[in-house]
A and B are shown apart, each in its own frame.
Chain A
Amino acid sequence: MAAVRFTGVDKRYGDVVAVRGLSLDIADGEFMVLVGPSGSGKTTALRMLAGLESISGGEIAIGERVVNRIAPRERDIAMVFQDYALYPQMSVFDNLAFGLRRRKVAKDEIERRVRGAADLLDIGAYLDRKPGQLSGGQAQRVALGRALVRQPQVFLMDEPLSNLDAQLRTQTRGEIKRVQQEVRTTTVYVTHDQVEAMTMGDRIAVMNDGVLEQVGTPEELYERPANRFVAGFIGSPAMSFFDAAASGEDGGLRLRGEGIDLRLPGLPPLSGELSVGVRPEAARLWNGGGHGLAGPLRGGVTYVEALGRETFVGVDVGGARLALFQEGRIALTPGDVVDFGLVPEGLRFFSPADGAAIAVPSAERTS
């Protein structure tokens, strides 16, 4: 096992910059998720680490060794591909054994490791089958097993769950996490799905447009997003935003915007134009006030998303669209007008100019 270090890594295709100045330290044994929308450079970063793409600038090290000019097969890494990339003409056993045979591992050791991985992943019954005879979930586990038997320094996973149906995805998510915790191999996992990132990663690196936006634990990213992009990307439903002019008033904060006038006594006075971020759980129906809600604000219902245990309500306030969270069900239909309030300590503030988070000293928070 080994740590992985990206230092100022660039990837350019002609004039197109796919990855710009990526610096990222991944600790030994850590499960690091690279997450971002399509074209954010996350897969390119992974492929550079694998050696499948050349590095245009900067340095990548696995352990103490800089691997920029080292062939993929000498990097001692194993990768799980999005389409699994199992060798179709070989049995599952041969698929698992392929890398070991190439590395001249002794026959009984191959047998031992393949059986071990098969047990761990519960694929022992399919060892004689060809990949074409496997279901998506089974093929996925075989792909995982092929990486596992190699006992590499680092696992690389490129959206390994995206070809599975929703239920299987949730199940396999847990399985990959369990296996990783068992073998404690450093893992770099690429996904565009923030739910996968949040549930699997020890830490998450959010990328956008080839740039690393923020690295942190799932909790850090959720609670203290570094900028508007991260705030909007992490969390489901996403954080909603409205623009407001801030001023200090009565030792608290006053926000005024289109259809919005809020006094937030517990918050430090800020000034100037702000972009205010609200997570759904920090926006609730007024119901007579109280519960520490600031408000009321009034808006028209645009959609109602009833999930059974909880309901999300979209509300239009002066052109800004906010999502409200409510436990259980509520009898609302689009077009209704509702009063709601915001939880002051749940608000996040960003600069409208560059989207950077404006820090609110936590000591002054009421929470």
Chain B
Amino acid sequence: MTSRRELSLTYAILGVFSLIAVLPIVGIVFTAVQDQGELAAFGTFQGVHLDNFADAWRDGNFGSYLRSSAIVTVSVVAISVLLSILAGYAFGLMRFRGAQVLFYVFLLGLMVPTEAMIVPLYYDFRDLGLTDTYWALILPQIGTSVAFGTFWMRAYFRTVPRSLVEAARLDGASSWFTLWRVLLPLARPAVLTMTVLLFMWTWNEFLLALVMVTDEGLRTAPLGLSFFQGRNQTNLTLLAAGAVIVATPVVVLYVFLQRHFIRGMLSGAVKG
């Protein structure tokens, strides 16, 4: 039992940190709906102006950016999730020669930051004639996402009782059938959490898009936002509206999947 004093202290600390986390977001949202003419101080509020979003959308060409982002993100996440489930299943529940070494190779993909590989990657893609295409954004991100996803799904599959897999084997199920019909329905929180994380990282990827594409039509939302920022140094309101537009898809996805997301994050941490 925690005492009342301890409890209030806990809430006070949590409250302070929540405030630190939430305040900038609230500030951005407030700024985004302010009157464009009033360059008011950060945080003040004079009526809601939702037309700022329409202005930002038009001026910033966000329709095109969001479309590019959607194409890239959906492809990367869909393919990565599929491959990660398969690889994680193999590493987590199957015994095969070289599993250990191969897994470390996967981990390498997790450890090397984009900044470290972006230059050679650019030259490779240029040689292949793939720069300035969606492939230049999709393929490298599948690589890094699968590294994380395999690590994540392997950790999940390791927590599955072995006897469940063995029971399915004795019952006559193939490995493929066992994965899709026996294990995956149980893995939903883990898979959805991975989906949210990969979606967020892919959506927010900036450096790769900056280096790989120059065609305006291929630019993704974070890149577009950055260019938009360059053009609107003074119009804070419009800039904030643009930021809100770019951030919305991730927030929406998170809100839809948050129940699973939290369950996935906690699985293994607390006994269900």
Which residues of A are at the interface with B, using a C-beta cutoff of 8 A? Answer: 50-52, 71-73, 77-79, 81-83, 85-89, 98-99, 102-103, 146, 150
Contact = CB atoms under 8 A, between A and B. Distances in A.
Contact of B172 (A52, A73, A83): A73
Contacts of B170: 50-52, 72-73, 77-79, 99
B186 A102 contact: no
Interface size class of B (residues with CB under 8 A): 10 to 19
B173 A85 contact: no
Interface stretch (B150-158, B160-168, B257-265): B160-168
Given A81-B163, A82-B163, A102-B177, A87 B169 contact: no
Contacts of B168: 87, 98
A50 to B, nearest CB: 6
29 contacts: A50-B166, A50-B170, A52-B169, A52-B170, A71-B169, A72-B166, A73-B170, A73-B171, A78-B171, A79-B166, A79-B167, A79-B170, A81-B163, A81-B166, A81-B167, A83-B161, A83-B163, A85-B163, A85-B167, A86-B167, A87-B182, A89-B185, A98-B168, A99-B170, A99-B171, A99-B172, A102-B172, A102-B173, A146-B167
B186 A89 contact: yes
B167 A73 contact: no
Contacts of A146: 167, 171
A159 to B, nearest CB: 11
Interface of B: 161, 163-164, 166-173, 177, 182, 185-186
A71 B166 CA distance: 12
A72 B169 CA distance: 7
A150 B167 CA distance: 12
Name the prevailing secondary structure of the B interface residues: helix
Given A88-B186, A89-B185, A52 B166 contact: yes
Contacts of A73: 169-173
A103 B174 CA distance: 11
A150 B166 CA distance: 16
Given A72-B170, A83-B163, 8 more contacts: A50-B166, A51-B170, A73-B169, A83-B161, A85-B161, A85-B166, A98-B171, A99-B170
B4 to A, nearest CB: 36
Nearest to A78: B170
A150 B164 CA distance: 17
Contacts of B161: 83, 85
A81 B171 CA distance: 13
B164 to A, nearest CB: 5
B157 to A, nearest CB: 15
A146 B170 CA distance: 11
Nearest to A97: B171
A180 B256 CA distance: 51
Nearest to A80: B167
A52 B166 CA distance: 7
A66 B26 CA distance: 71
Contacts of B166: 50, 52, 72, 79, 81, 85
A85 B223 CA distance: 50
A85 B164 contact: yes
A146 B161 CA distance: 18
Contacts of A87: 164, 167-168, 182
A165 B144 CA distance: 49
A6 B48 CA distance: 82
B168 to A, nearest CB: 8
Contacts of A85: 161, 163-164, 166-167
Chain A CB within 10 A, most for which of B161, B166, B172: B172
B178 to A, nearest CB: 10
Nearest to B173: A102
A54 to B, nearest CB: 10
A87 to B, nearest CB: 6
Chain A to chain B: the 8 pairs with minimum beta-carbon distance, closest first: A99-B171, A102-B172, A85-B163, A85-B167, A89-B185, A81-B163, A73-B172, A85-B164
Contacts of A81: 163, 166-167
Contacts of A98: 168, 171, 173
Contacts of A102: 171-173, 177
A346 to B, nearest CB: 43
A103 B173 CA distance: 9
Contacts of A72: 166, 169-170
A116 B185 CA distance: 28
Contacts of A88: 186
A146 B167 CA distance: 10
Nearest to A98: B171
A135 B102 CA distance: 42
B189 to A, nearest CB: 13
A85 B160 CA distance: 10
A77 B171 CA distance: 9
Contacts of B173: 73, 98, 102
B177 to A, nearest CB: 7
Contacts of B177: 102
Nearest to A99: B171
A150 B172 CA distance: 11
A83 B171 CA distance: 16
Contacts of A150: 171
A51 B169 CA distance: 10
A240 B164 CA distance: 42
A77 B167 CA distance: 11
A85 B165 CA distance: 8
Contacts of A71: 169
Nearest to A74: B172
A89 B182 CA distance: 8
